[in-house]
Amino acid sequence: MNSVPPMADIDLRRASLCQLLHWLAAGRVQAKALSEVYLSAIERINPQLNAYVTLSPVALLREQAQMAEYRRRDGVIGRLDGIPIAIKDNFDVAGWPTRSGLPTGRVPEYDAHVVARLRASGAVLTGKTNMDEGALGAVTDNPHYGPTHNPHRQGYTAGGSSGGAAAAVAAGLAVAAIGSDSLGSIRIPASYCGVFALKPTQGEISTRGMTPAARWLDTVGLIARSVDDLTVLLQVLAGYDADDPRSRRRRVALSPPDWEPGKLRCGVLSNLPDRGVQPDVIALFDATLAKLDRELGERRNVDFEDWDFPRARRAGLLLMEAEMQRTFEMQLADTEHPVSPRFRQMIDYAARKSAVDYADADRVLDTAALKMRRLFAQIDVLVTPTTPQGAFPLDGPVPDSQADLTSFANLAGCPAVSIPMGTLPDGMPVGLQLVGARGSDLRLLELAAVWSATLDAAPEYPIPV
């Protein structure tokens, strides 16, 4: 007897990327039918969710899906053939506007490196997602394009700055999404929306064609519905780019290494109340570690007593604000389509700082890199909550601490994964963060896959009808 359910009984919008690839390869799903499912959902649901700010023209989306079917018929199959994927609005897509959350932008002639790789692999681009203005924020309450709502609760933040990307994946409006992460911009929304995210090692995926926020902090980020999905995306997108000065020549291995749980040295961030982590998040974190007890190997507390998390986050923010004076020079001078007062205030703050202030902020990167190098000589993985809190109302106060637990991975150039940890008493999800040494991306993903299977904590995706 065939135990595989008929496709009529399966909601394709709940399926993972890997499941869909299997069904497409087996002929149980056609790329055109899959794209129509997502197109219909986007048309119905995006007006309320506001995950997308630019939609792929319907004819173009259908053409992409049709081409995927032609390639499959001819036996020339890309790794992501027929998979609907969303792109954050700070990546260039040829012929589509790149605004980076600002009121105006430009229409590029060429794709960003990561977009070109997606196209070459057969992905179907669904549109560009909402974000904080200039990527300066972690709420995605954009003054020009409106807020993105958390799919788990209308009126709550999806996080940011890649909030539209995470919301689209959680709500079944994209199978996966490409975002950017400079201080936590994919991991924060992944935590709030209950999805999976990877910030790769600095330079592992080329940032060419991505609007820079702070070049030494920027990474391309991946959002999906499972760890296996993240692994596939990394294998497709990673690689050396001679036209990106920060691109790594030594890539992570394309197959994960062997991993023995008993030999794992697991560092657990301690003193969480002193880090501003909310009590309900601490309680869930402790319960999560208890569930993972057999997989933690040798557990070691890491106190980071000599590391000022808020100061480090502010240093990274200053570097971003400083670089954006140049990145958005034309938009800042545009009086007909002005940026928001908040964005201008943040940029003006950086303009008033001295060269010594910038030098001090830049030194934080070296300090972070050395600290993490020494730390990962003693442990294999560092575990923390992804965010100190869960999602909060869009019309409420914004916590200063949102990026305190995520920013040090950017400052040190390390890979970090966020997986769902469970839900808080108010029913909103929150994530568990795994941080590894530079270049350990696939080892980290392998570990995250094991832990995710043990926890089985991904919330029921709030797929609106």
399-426 pLDDT tens trace: 999 999 999 999 999 999 999 999 999 9
Q: What is the pTM of this model?
A: 0.95
**Which domain, by its residues, includes 211?**
13-310+361-455
Q: Which one of the listed residues 16, 35, 56, 88 is annotated catalytic? A: 88
| H/E element, 176 | strand 176-181
315 found inside a domain: no
pLDDT band at 462 (very low <50, low <70, confident <90, very high): confident
Rounded Cα–Cα distance for residues 200 and 351 (Å): 31
pLDDT band of residue 306 (cuts 50, 70, 90) is confident
Is residue 465, in this structure, part of any structural domain at all?
Answer: no
* Catalytic, out of 56, 161, 182, 418: 161
Supply the CATH number for residue 136's domain: 3.90.1300.10
Is the residue at 163 inside a domain?
Answer: yes
Supply 452's token pair: 């995710």
Determine, yes or no, domain membership for 354: no
Domain assignment present for residue 293? The answer is: yes
Q: Per the structure block, which two tokens stand in for 361?
A: 């902020």
State the total domains in the chain. Answer: 1
- Does residue 351 lie within any of the structural domains? no
Rg from Cα positions in the chain: 21
Question: Catalytic residue at 161?
Answer: yes
Q: Summarize pLDDT for 263-299 with one digit per residue, the tens.
A: 899 999 999 999 999 999 999 999 999 999 989 999 9
Nearest to 101 by CA among 353, 326, 342: 342
Question: Residue 74 — pLDDT band, cuts 50, 70, 90?
Answer: confident
Pairing of strands 146-147, 265-269: unpaired
* CA 300/CA 30 separation, integer angstroms: 49
For residue 365, what are the contacts with CB-CB under 8 A and spacing of at least 6?
Answer: 216, 217, 411, 412
Given 56, 100, 182, 185, the catalytic residue: 185
Could you tell me which residues are beta bridge partners of residue 223? 177, 197
Give the integer Cα–Cα distance in Å for 336 and 181.
Answer: 30
